[in-house]
Amino acid sequence: MKQLSLSLFSLGVLLTISATYACEDYSVKEVSSGIYYHQGVHEEPSESNMGAIANVGFIIGEQCVAVIDSGGSYLEGSYLRQAIKNTTDLPICYVINTHVHPDHIFGNAAFKDDKPTFIGHEKLPAAIAAREAYFAKTFKETLGKAYTGTEFISPTQTASINKPITIDLGNRELILTAYSTSHTDHDLTVFDSNTKTLWTGDLLFMGRIPVMDGSINGWIKTMTQMQTMDLNFLIPGHGEASSDKWQSGLQKQLDYFTLLRDEIRVIIEDLGTIDQASKEVGILEQNSWELFEHYHRRNVTASFVQLEWE
Amino acid sequence: MFNRTLALLIISLSFFNVSAYAATPSEPLWPTLKIAYFGDKEIREAANDLLVIEAPKRAEDAAIVPITVKSLVAQTADKYIKNIHIVVDNNPEPYSANFHLSPELGLIDISTRMRVDQYTFVRAIAEMNDGSLHMVSRFVKASGGCSAPAGKDAAAALARLGKMQIRMRKPTVGEPVQAQVIVSHPNYNGLQFDQQSRLYIDAHYIKNINISYNDKTLIEADTGISVSEDPSIRFTFTPESSGVLKADVKDSKDQSFSLQKNI
């Protein structure tokens, strides 16, 4: 009898785990020495993927660990924290958020016990405040149980445009650079000087369609600048980290937004409408990107109202 | 009219407190809103013989949802649409705009852009010159993912506050022409946050746009916080002689902006 109830109990546990994402399935990969990332899936956030759709990870120095983006839910944050604990005993001193989107910041609360310094762009606190209520309402539903425990934690240390900040993890300096409006109005990148690895946040999407939540002209300018960077490795916000694939990925993203801009400008010039633009612009790109249907028309809509003011 | 309606809504919502807060998709807000805005007046629903409302099935960008209202019956001096009220049921302030229309507009074809942050009905209620009310509506699904009704670049919006454009194809006297009035304005809805002061920014939005031709009003719009950043009104009119198309804009802090174009 005792045995039966035990096995029933185990079965229950198994069923619970298999219905969601299990901790042991959560893998991180070493990109370059001491730099690890978990590659998000190209899906919309859901309870079954626990919102783990973005690239998140950590960098280990001689004294400290820095987390770069904390995950798309409290649950993902806790799995990422466990992956760090499985890799090193060093303390987590910093949690860096590249921007406000839920897949990058929702895991913050999982690191509260480590008492890290939360770092972001100087405009990140305002961006969190403006979206918090909306995100909480929407994602509680989208992420179900994975959302439980999620909190909105603003950075206490911030970087300003033209004033990068440097943090030292112990013989390992990270340079945190704040950008003018691109993917959002508060993008932050992390550069590891030792290995020349750049963590771009969502300034670069590979495979998954990029989402414009900032300025189309600003982002195009930023991408052009990124093309000249001397890097050994790059970790995009979405898609595969590499030493040799990001260049073509960046070009592809630049081409996409340049095409959108060119075609939208023609429609605006002709007094066309948003509705017309969202049906006509960039449709040949639809087989080139994952989740095109979900975000392409949004990109067109958001770009249209900006390009009206050129 | 607009402020009175708002006051009515607030009064009514306090009366209907329970039902307003208990509202779920199975218990829609509209019956409460209808009483708040239109009292016990009868509204003819599905007035598809008079009006068409166009809106995307899904709000691609929650901050910018294009809405178009067209009439199927031409305005005449005897019988014309006096007002078109726009209601977005599930927005923080559902009563979103009131377009006062001239009988000289011919066929109505007006587009604007709204904030729509959740699944909602968007309604256009035509009020005829005889006072009768006729409604059409569309259901708009919320956008997915990271789209939030927040502005994308608050600094840029503020920097060009008050700039205006009147855009149109080359007009011909006596023929209908499409024109667009856009005003750059952050249209703060009172939910935005100021990073410097760590306080919420007061609502600061365009409340009135008056579009006239040779000093006769074609469209006067009372607008609220549901209207997108950089409010836009696109409309069709027929210039019967050459003249001046003018847009006068007032915001909630009594700032005025104006632009005109010779035709």
3-class SS string, B191-259: CCEECCCCEECCCECEEEEEEEECCEEEEEEEECCCECCCCEEEEEECCCCCCEEEEEEEECCCCEEEE
Which residue among B61, B118, B145 places its CB closest to the CB of A301?
Answer: B61
Q: For residue A235, what is the enclosing H or E element?
A: strand A233-238
φ, ψ of residue A131 in degrees (nearest 5):
-110, -15
Q: Most A CBs within 10 Å: which of B68, B146, B160, B229, as the mutation test of the A interface?
A: B146
What's the CA gap between B239 and B71, in Å, rounded? 19
What is the per-residue pLDDT for B150? Answer: 65
Find out whether B84 and B220 touch, Cβ atoms under 8 Å. Answer: no
Residue (of A64, A35, A86, A12) closest to A194 by Cα position? A35
Determine contact: A186 vs chain B, CB below 8 A.
no
What is the per-residue pLDDT for B152? Answer: 83
More confident residue, A182 or B25: A182
Contact A130 B61 (CB under 8 A): no
Q: What pTM does this model have? A: 0.89
What is the per-residue pLDDT for A100? Answer: 96
The residue behind tokens 């960046």 is A250
Residue (of A176, A54, A161) closest to A118 by Cα position? A176
Determine contact: A105 vs chain B, CB below 8 A.
no
Asked if this assembly's ipTM is beyond 0.90, the reply is no
What is the per-residue pLDDT for A133? Answer: 85
Q: Nearest CA of chain B to the CA of A163: how many Å?
A: 18
What is the per-residue pLDDT for B22? Answer: 32
Mean pLDDT of A50-63: 98
Contact B145 A45 (CB under 8 A): yes
Q: Which residue of B has its CA nearest to A53?
A: B145
pLDDT beneath 50: ranges in chain B? 1, 3-26
What is the per-residue pLDDT for B169? Answer: 87
Q: Nearest CA of chain A to the CA of B94: how many Å?
A: 17
The residue behind tokens 């809805």 is B189
Q: Helices marked H in B61-169 — which ranges?
A: 154-159
Distances, alpha carbon B23 to alpha carbons A155, A194, B89, B91, in Å: 36, 57, 11, 13
Q: Nearest CA of chain A to the CA of B102: how many Å?
A: 24
A273-294 confidence digits (pLDDT tens): 999 999 999 999 999 999 999 9
Find out whether A223 and A254 touch, Cβ atoms under 8 Å. Answer: yes
Confidence of residue A19 (pLDDT cuts 50, 70, 90): very low
Q: Which residue of B has its CA nearest to A296?
A: B60
Query: Which 3-state string (H, E, C) describes A24-71?
Result: HHCCCEEEECCEEEECCCCCCCCCCCCCCCCCEEEEECCCCEEEECCC
With a cut of 90, say whether residue A87 has pLDDT above it: yes
Contact A297 B60 (CB under 8 A): yes
Q: Nearest CA of chain A to the CA of B129: how many Å?
A: 30
Using a CB-CB cut-off of 8 Å, the residues of chain A touching B198 are: 125
Mean pLDDT of A96-105: 98
What's the CA gap between B22 and A192, in Å, rounded? 52
Query: Is residue B227 classed exposed, middle or buried when 0-12, 13-18 and 19+ CB atoms within 10 A define those classes?
Result: buried
A254-275 confidence digits (pLDDT tens): 999 999 999 999 999 999 999 9
Which residue among B143, B153, B228 places its CB closest to the CB of A215?
Answer: B153
What is the per-residue pLDDT for A18? Answer: 38
| 3-state secondary structure at position A174 | strand
Contact B60 A278 (CB under 8 A): yes
Distances, alpha carbon B136 to alpha carbons A154, B51, B133, in Å: 44, 7, 10
Using a CB-CB cut-off of 8 Å, the residues of chain B touching A103 are: 146
What is the per-residue pLDDT for B144? Answer: 57
Using a CB-CB cut-off of 8 Å, the residues of chain B touching A292 are: none
What is the per-residue pLDDT for B198? Answer: 64
The residue behind tokens 């009594």 is B254
Mean pLDDT of A74-93: 98
Which token pair is B13?
């919502």
What is the per-residue pLDDT for B189? Answer: 81
**Sheet strands side by side (includes A197-205):** A165-168, A173-178, A188-192, A197-205, A233-238
Confidence of residue A207 (pLDDT cuts 50, 70, 90): very high
Determine contact: A135 vs chain B, CB below 8 A.
yes
What is the per-residue pLDDT for B158? Answer: 80
Q: Nearest CA of chain B to the CA of A269: how many Å?
A: 9
Minimum mean pLDDT range among A12-16, A79-83, B17-21, B131-135: B17-21
Which token pair is B240?
């019967």
Find out whether A198 and A231 touch, Cβ atoms under 8 Å. Answer: yes
Which residue among A127, A131, A294 places its CB closest to the CB of B144?
Answer: A294
| 3-state secondary structure at position A91 | coil
Q: Nearest CA of chain B to the CA of A146: how many Å?
A: 16
Which residue among A123, A271, A275 places its CB closest to the CB of B169?
Answer: A271
Which token pair is A18?
């298999």
Minimum mean pLDDT range among A4-13, A73-82, A132-141: A4-13
